Structure 1
Amino acid sequence: MAKYEQKTKETDHDVVEFIEKVDSLKKRADAYKLLEIFEETSGYEAKMWGPSIIGFGTYHYQYATGHEGDAPLVGFSPRKAKISLYFATGDTTREESLKRFGKYTSGKSCVYINKVDDIEVDVLKEMITQSITFLQKLYPDN
């Protein structure tokens, strides 16, 4: 059986260089705001994960199936349509925080926003902290 190859890995690409290539000036400005918020709140330096995710911290996961890999504790990506925010999916406090978060949509592992002005930054900081705490308890050997 072939070993699964993780697609999204930490790279040594420059975060600021990536943000500078974001087409929309507003989205670029929001990416810099988020960079500051995530770094300050997480206490981790920003790193590129794959071609378009800015991640903070890292953890090693292993599922019961044997599948394992590394992922950022939290992160974001200033995509063309919306800005994707990445938090832990199993954290039960996430839904409660989202009620106070502001204007967003969500998928399984992402929360999507149009712009930083649409959200409560204090709630974002809370969600960053909650996600990191949750993942560090779930995967304590990191």
Structure 2
Amino acid sequence: MPTTKPTNVSVDDFLATVTDDRRRTDSQAVCALLRELTGTEPRMWGASMVGFGRQPYTTADGKSHEWFAIGFAPRKAALTLYGLTYDDSNADLLARLGPHTTGKGCLYVKRFDAVDHDVLAELITRSWELNHRP
């Protein structure tokens, strides 16, 4: 992660290039939801991650880097949301979310329309308040 940096590429232009119709539509919907809930504009991080806000990130070697507070990437296998499940957090909300899987700090959603959007909004809001450092 530390080598991934913010860029000046347009997020909307990037999302328009997502070739799978469902993944593009889902990504645009998630981006709109994150804009609304965070009150901030997204920024591209590297070639394929969309980030909101910022937070310090310390690597195993003790070096500190800037990272986004929450974000997402339209991956082929699933829409990947970052910053919502750190340290096995938010289990109460994840239990009510609907079909998903998790990884270290990542939430994987195959179909945006299959998850409970109210629960997702609560998860995003909680994670934003915890992670974002103005």
TM-score, length basis structure 2: 0.90
Counterpart-to-counterpart distance in 2, 1:129 and 1:9: 24
Matched, 1:42 2:34: no
Larger Rg: 1
Residue 122 of structure 1: aligned partner: 118
- Aligned residue identity for 1:13: V
In structure 1, runs of 5+ residues without a counterpart are none
What fraction of aligned residue pairs are identical, expressed as a percent?
35
Equivalent pair of 2:83/2:131 in contact (CA under 8 Å):
no
Residue 75 of structure 2: aligned partner: 79
**Shift of residue 62 of structure 1?**
3.8
Change in 2 beyond 3 A, CA 1:30/1:84: same
Counterpart-to-counterpart distance in 2, 1:125 and 1:85: 12
- Aligned residue identity for 2:112: V
Which has the larger strand fraction?
2
Residue 32 of structure 1: aligned partner: 28
**Shift of residue 49 of structure 1?**
0.8
- Provide, for residues 64-99 of structure 1, a one-character-per-residue CA deviation record: whole Å limited to 9, x for no partner: 85221111111111111111011251373x111100
**Shift of residue 60 of structure 1?**
2.0
Counterpart-to-counterpart distance in 2, 1:90 and 1:130: 14
Alignment of 1:1-142 (within 5 A): 6-62=2-58, 65-88=61-84, 89-90=86-87, 92=89, 94-136=90-132, 142=134
Counterpart-to-counterpart distance in 1, 2:82 and 2:58: 19
- Aligned residue identity for 1:90: D
Counterpart-to-counterpart distance in 1, 2:78 and 2:62: 33
Equivalent pair of 1:62/1:68 in contact (CA under 8 Å):
yes
Equivalent pair of 1:86/1:111 in contact (CA under 8 Å):
yes
**Shift of residue 39 of structure 1?**
0.5
Counterpart-to-counterpart distance in 2, 1:114 and 1:97: 18
Counterpart-to-counterpart distance in 2, 1:113 and 1:62: 27
Query: Which region of structure 1 is more displaced relative to structure 2, 55-64 or 120-129?
Result: 55-64
